[in-house]
Amino acid sequence: MWYAIMSTDVSDSLPHRMAARPAHLERLTTLQNEGRLLLAGPFPAIDSPDPGPEGFSGSLIVAEFDSLEIAKIWADNDPYVTAGVYAQVIVKPFKKVLPA
């Protein structure tokens, strides 16, 4: 099943994001290579695809896991979590409807 992992950044998270980004992307690439990643990306803190020093306010990952519990364990072990980027992480089941 698909699961949405919605994260909210702490204030001034950009330096922590940049430091942990390679490890974060490595885990997402693994999901992608396994065919389990639907989408992933950050929420710019301002209305711009490149927010510069304003950074990001959070992230969204939609990926396939065997259960909600496994999705939560995966999310809890994200390098952004261990680096202190995220203030909150919510994991919910997700039903993909469109595009078919």
Within-domain flag for 86: yes
**Average pLDDT of the residues of the chain:** 97
Residue 65, domain member (yes or no) = yes
Domain containing 15 equals 2-94
- The total domain count for the chain is 1
What gap in Å lies between CA 19 and CA 22, rounded to an integer?
8
Q: Percent of the chain at pLDDT above 70?
A: 100
**Residue 4 DSSP SS3:** strand
Indicate which CATH number applies to the domain containing 40.
3.30.70.1060
For residue 6, give every residue at least 6 positions away whose Cβ sits within 8 Å of its Cβ, in sequence order, or none: 58, 59, 60, 89, 90, 91, 92
Kindly state whether residue 80 falls inside one of the protein's structural domains: yes
CB 54 within 8 A of CB 47: no
Mean pLDDT throughout 3-32? 98
